[in-house]
Amino acid sequence: MRTITKKPEVLAPAGTLEKLKTAIHYGADAVYIGGDAYGLRSRAGNFSFDEMREGVAFAKERHAKVYVAANMVTHEGDADGAGEFFRTLRDIGIHAVIVSDPALIEICATESPGLPIHLSTQASATNYETLEFWREEGLERVVLAREVGMEEVQAIREKTSVEIEAFIHGAMCISYSGRCVLSNHMSQRDANRGGCSQSCRWKYDLFDMPYAGEHRSLVGGETEEPFSMSAVDMSMIHHIPELVENGIDSLKIEGRMKSIHYVSTVSNVYRQAIDTYCADPDNYVFNQEWEDELWKVAQRELSTGFYYGVPTEDEQLFGKRRKIPVYGFIGQVLSYDEETQIATIQQRNNFGVGDEVEFYGPGFTHFTQTVDVLWNEDEEVIDRAPNAMMIVKTKVAAPVKPFDMMRKKK
């Protein structure tokens, strides 16, 4: 008989305050966000201190936690003001900071005592001795490098008591633990200081250039990508038992720059899978609907990354790709009238009468229907909702709640 000693935390990305609230509403135990400085996502919707206060209050009311990523590699002068930044996070009530640079770790530990520190995946922790080193330095948790395999996770867990966090879903980086200089060379944007232009995701070709200014492809007319440095995404939805049994404390979803459609869907799926397994591990059965749901927000093909061996060419994006069903996020439910069965919806993308749409919500509830009537804010009958963020009403086939989402297949 299997015994679950600890249910792991579902840790979701939150690039904005809206995404933070969405992630928690859809089952995340914790979220990680970025501040206005010291992070690696300068183009994400990073949080002001006032937004952090609102996010922390929202999370605490729902027994969830908020972590702040401050995982940049600091050059001379980059750490100026870090002590005040960390003290402010502590006073706001942030539950922990995620850091990779020893300078920032030292500043946080000495100038903001009481603020827990988690080691970022950027620090490439791949063995238990490293985890023990950081535990002795006072860190509560280590985010493993994404290159760590499942057998290594088991060995690490057996030899250290420090909390372990590991990525289980989302984009993979082609460089070791995300430490890359491609962006620096190709677009003068420092990936390790928050400016990554994702050069590895660009399309590449092989050219013959016999004369100045002439570019002639040696591949010739190929529509697929013949060359790539781009990795497929990770998904560990089939391996929840191994993740839980090997003692990982926090299961991390990548994607601070992803939409609320992505955040809600992925958080919802992993919440269901983990709760189902932990409730009755001996009789756990994988639900194919979980994987089907993840494909609705997938941008690339999926693999298990490094967990079960070193990725091969099959885990790279080149040549003919598998066709991925594309769903568009079209609206969010604001309210529902039980008597009339009419939902008030904030439009996010164009939809109208005759479209087949899917509603889904927390707890893995969802249903499909055809839109047969639509009203605008003035109660006027309309055929379509073409304007961004407009408020519309429609009759729904089943009860819905605020925060429920609408999508349709493209």
Enumerate domains of the chain plus CATH numbers: 9-176+230-315 (3.20.20.380), 327-409 (2.40.30.10)
Q: Which two tokens stand for residue 42?
A: 């300068």
pTM of the model: 0.91
Q: Cα–Cα–Cα angle for 105, 107, 112, nearest 5°? A: 100
- Cα separation, 322 vs 304, whole angstroms: 16
pLDDT given at position 124: 94
Contact 13/254 with Cβ under 8 angstroms?
yes
Helix/strand/coil for 404: coil
Q: Which two tokens stand for residue 391?
A: 């408020």
- Cα separation, 399 vs 352, whole angstroms: 20
Q: Which residue has the tokens 């299961």?
A: 251
Instruction: List, as one string, the DSSP characters of 108-148.
Output: HHHHSTT--EEE-GGG---SHHHHHHHHHTT-SEEEPPTT-
Per-residue pLDDT in tens (0 to 9) along the chain, 410 residues:
676 778 999 999 999 999 999 999 999 999 999 988 777 655 556 899 999 999 999 999 999 999 999 988 888 988 899 999 999 999 999 999 999 999 999 999 999 999 999 999 999 999 999 999 999 999 999 999 999 999 999 999 999 999 999 999 998 888 877 777 777 878 887 766 667 777 777 877 777 777 666 777 777 655 566 777 888 899 999 999 999 999 999 999 999 889 999 999 999 999 999 999 999 999 999 999 999 999 999 888 899 999 999 888 788 877 666 667 789 999 999 999 999 999 999 999 999 999 999 999 999 999 999 999 999 999 999 999 999 999 999 999 999 999 999 999 98
H or E, element range at 164: strand 163-170
- Cα separation, 410 vs 405, whole angstroms: 16
E-state strands within 214-294:
216-217, 233-235, 250-253
- Cα separation, 295 vs 170, whole angstroms: 12
CA dihedral sign of residues 382, 387, 390, 395: positive
pLDDT given at position 275: 97
CB burial string 116-144: b at 16+ within 10 A, e below: bbbbbbbbbbbbbebbbbbbeeebebbbb
Question: Pairing between strand 405-409 and 327-337?
Answer: antiparallel
pLDDT given at position 126: 96
Residue 385: closest CA among 377, 121, 249, 91: 377
pLDDT given at position 2: 73
Q: How many CA atoms lie within 13 A of 226 on its CB side?
A: 10
Phi-psi region of 62 (alpha: psi -120 to 50; beta: other; left: phi over 0): alpha
Helix/strand/coil for 36: coil
Residue 158: closest CA among 247, 250, 278: 247
- Cα separation, 405 vs 358, whole angstroms: 8
Write down the H helix ranges in 216-356: 240-245, 260-279, 288-295
The count of residues in the chain is 410
Contact 229/166 with Cβ under 8 angstroms?
no
Residue 146: closest CA among 275, 259, 232: 232
Q: Which two tokens stand for residue 401?
A: 């709640």
